[in-house]
Amino acid sequence: MSNLPEIKNPKYHEMDFGEVEKIRESVASGNINLIIDDSKLLLYLNQMERKYSTQLKWIQNISVIGFVGMIVFIFINWTISPFLFVASIVVSMLNRKLAKKYILKQCSEDKVFLKFALAVGLANFHP
């Protein structure tokens, strides 16, 4: 298997940037709604703008540390463990919501990322 993203929609991959710019303007103005694939939210962090991807990576790391801390505190002080478990789940949910927000924001700002998201199937749109 290749490490490169797989092109799911060759139509968007081969589309010129003039057409992608028109789609981006429609997305930015709200005429077209983008639908983000929830299963791929955190899969393409390296292609996102650095400020967005760094923040999402840190939040994801905090969530993992919370789960590890929960397992450790089961043996040290079990009363703290349920709070860490709930906190980790809440942080994970917020991270997914924030990832969706950042993907939508970057698609409305950057035509190259929009073309990438449409080509790999991260985003689809409905007028």
Q: Write down the residue that tokens 């927000």 correspond to.
A: 101
Give me the number of domains the chain comprises.
1
Task: Retrieve residue 5's tokens.
Answer: 């993203």
Does residue 1 lie in a domain region? no
Range(s) of the domain holding residue 41: 10-126
Does residue 4 lie in a domain region? no
Comparing CA positions, the residue from 20, 32, 35 lying closest to residue 110 is 20
Higher-pLDDT residue of 69, 3: 69
Higher-pLDDT residue of 34, 2: 34
Does residue 104 lie in a domain region? yes
Average pLDDT, the chain: 88
pLDDT of residue 38: 87
Q: pLDDT tens-digit profile of 3-16? A: 778 889 889 999 99
Does residue 2 lie in a domain region? no
